[in-house]
């Protein structure tokens, strides 16, 4: 009989303690965000997708040479004024190990790792043949509800 009442009191006390915790947190500031309508900015050292500032690239091929997985493909030609022009600059994200070596070695900070973390798309082709020269290449990667 004593155990029966003891159990009831213990149960009631647990319930009250739980409700007190709920009540205490009811008016405190939220520690989570409403993803995907809200997004966190990634930390400075975060390595997202490889991206390019085309106007800064001097076509030195340092990034291509240092890439341990061979996922960068660059080609250029010389125009009539002997200036280097891109033929293509492709990135295969499927092979990328996100080491950041291309970013580190680039003498002009043309190539860099952006802060994107929504890196899922429909279709394998979209990750194996990313055109770094296309400024809108990652537009469809961001969640559509996020501006």
Report the interface residues with ligand SF4, using CB under 6 A: 50, 57-63, 67-69, 71-72, 74, 96-102, 105-106, 108, 110-111
User: What minimum distance in Å lies between the beta carbon of 38 and ligand SF4?
Assistant: 28
How is residue 46 written in tokens?
A: 């975060």
> Which of 114, 122, 113 lies closest to 144 in space, CA to CA?
122
Phi, psi of 141 (to 5 degrees): -80, -35
User: What minimum distance in Å lies between the beta carbon of 136 and ligand SF4?
Assistant: 19
User: What minimum distance in Å lies between the beta carbon of 132 and ligand SF4?
Assistant: 8
Peptide bond into 27 cis (omega under 30): no
Beta strands in 22-122 (DSSP E): 50-52, 72-78, 84-91, 111-113
Q: Would you say 39 or 53 has its CB closer to ligand SF4?
A: 53
Q: Would you say 36 or 100 has its CB closer to ligand SF4?
A: 100
Rounded CA separation 102/51 (Å): 10
Q: Would you say 86 or 121 has its CB closer to ligand SF4?
A: 86
Q: Would you say 24 or 45 has its CB closer to ligand SF4?
A: 45
């Amino acid at each position: 009989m004593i155990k029966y009442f003891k159990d009831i009191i213990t149960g009631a006390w647990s319930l009250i303690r739980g409700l007190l915790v709920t009540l205490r947190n009811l008016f405190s500031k939220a520690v989570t965000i409403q993803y995907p309508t809200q997004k966190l900015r990634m930390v400075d050292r975060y390595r997202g997708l490889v991206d390019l500032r085309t106007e800064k690239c001097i076509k030195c091929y340092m990034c291509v040479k240092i890439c341990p997985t061979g996922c960068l493909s660059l080609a250029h030609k010389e125009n009539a004024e002997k200036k280097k022009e891109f033929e293509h600059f492709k990135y295969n994200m499927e092979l990328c190990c996100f080491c950041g070596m291309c970013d580190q070695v680039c003498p002009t900070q043309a190539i860099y790792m952006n802060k994107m973390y929504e890196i899922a798309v429909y279709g394998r082709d979209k990750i194996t043949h990313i055109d770094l020269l296309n400024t809108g290449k990652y537009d469809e990667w961001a969640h559509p509800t996020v501006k």
